[in-house]
Amino acid sequence: MSFDFLAEHRIIADMAYLSQPRPLEEYVALAERGARWMNLMQVDAGASMSTETGLLPEEFVGRVLRILRPTVEALRAEGLLSRAYVYGFDEHGVEWNASIRQLFGAIKYEWPDLRTVAVLNWPSMPPDMPLDVWIDGYNNYSPEKEKARQAWTAEGKLYFWYWCGYPNYWPWLQTLVEDPAIDARLLFWLTALHKIPGLLYYALNKWADQCPDDRPCKPVTRLNNTARTDFNPATWPSGSPRANGEGNFLYPGAEGLLSSIRFENLRDGIEDWSLFHLLDAAGGSSSKFIQQVIVSGKEHYADASRLELVRRLTAQEIVDRRSSGINARPKWKELHVQV
């Protein structure tokens, strides 16, 4: 049920933090629902780097390869390996450079066509790093970072953005409960403006691994037939920081997952992103429309009426270009959404 629910919102039930590969049937089910990115595992989980050499133990690297091999072979047999990737070194600093080269290098040596992905908030990325997708915080974007991105993608690599609970202060775009709901949508407008082909967020249901220690293992219950519920919105109810809604866009219902206003805005944002790509593919310029609503992560209008007007004008230009025969058959450009 959750696979279909997420697919209806144009999001695939992928997971970055997997300690081991999922059953093959789950990857097949994800592919049937359109998944282009399916994580096999977080390959550095439990890794310990030597302070002397900066490397991981060779037995650790060998164990990772042994764990991956059966799933890699099974996915190749199913014709699905091109959709797979491995994740690791989440937000690690540059001091992990040698370890990243060691582990990802070993994986690429074994399976050159298995993609490697990492969130690394580094000023630049060495072009010979055995990394296929460099993911960077959207709030790190600058003219200098754009130069680093261009140098990286010139090598045939991909550069994605991600967002998380930081920065959590106005006017940065954020998706916590207290933030304007439109922020979740504008994140995709900003991504489209800078032609970033992928956007990552780390969790939708953080509460699922918190019961019974931090919250009760029970569905959300309405209080006295009001809009209030008994669900504590603090992501970490018994700790700090009390980030309301971070990692929680969906909630446990008695009959399945419950959506949220913020989650619905994510879907709308993904669809807007697709719309802008259609205009660009048709020979138009989406930037002139997007910049009527958002210029940067800190410069934007939280105005739903303005957003809807610009969106309609964008759609109208696509229709006009197609009806007039200007690039009447635009080539679809694949978008990468991983949550």
The pLDDT of residue 242: 64
Residues 240-247 have a mean pLDDT of 80
Summary mean pLDDT of the chain: 93
In three state form, how does the secondary structure of the chain look?
A: CHHHHHHHCCCCCCCCCCCCCCCHHHHHHHHHCCCCCEEEEECCCCCCCCCCCCCCCHHHHHHHHHHHHHHHHHHHHHCCHHHEEEECCCCCCHHHHHHHHHHHHHHHHHCCCCEEEEECCCCCCCCCCCCCEEEEEHHHCCHHHHHHHHHHHCCCCEEEEECCCCCCCCCCCCCCCCCCCHHHHHHHHHHHHCCCCEEECCCCEHHHHCCCCCCCCCCCCECCCCCCECCCCECCCCCCCCCECCCECCEEECCEEECCHHHHHHHHHHHHHHHHHHHHHCCCCCHHHHCCCEEECCEECCCHHHHHHHHHHHHHHHHHHHHCCCCCCCCCCCCEEEC
- Pick from 249, 246, 252, 251: which is nearest to 262 by CA? 249
Tens of pLDDT, residue by residue over 155-175, are: 999 999 999 988 888 899 999
Q: Distance between CA 39 and CA 338 in Å, rounded?
A: 10
Q: Name the amino acid, one letter, at 133.
A: V
- Residue 337 reports pLDDT greater than 50: no
The pLDDT of residue 1: 57
176 contact partners, CB below 8 Å, separation of at least 6: 165, 168, 243, 244, 245, 246
The pLDDT of residue 99: 98
The pLDDT of residue 168: 84
Residues 65-88 have a mean pLDDT of 98
Q: Give the pLDDT band (50/70/90) at residue 274.
A: very high
Tens of pLDDT, residue by residue over 113-154, are: 999 999 999 999 999 999 999 999 999 999 999 999 999 999
Percent of the chain with pLDDT over 90: 86
The pLDDT of residue 272: 98
Tens of pLDDT, residue by residue over 192-220, are: 999 999 999 999 999 998 889 888 999 99
- Residue 303 reports pLDDT greater than 90: yes
CA 154 from chain centre, in angstroms, equals: 22
- Residue 240 reports pLDDT greater than 80: no
CA 22 from chain centre, in angstroms, equals: 19
The pLDDT of residue 331: 44
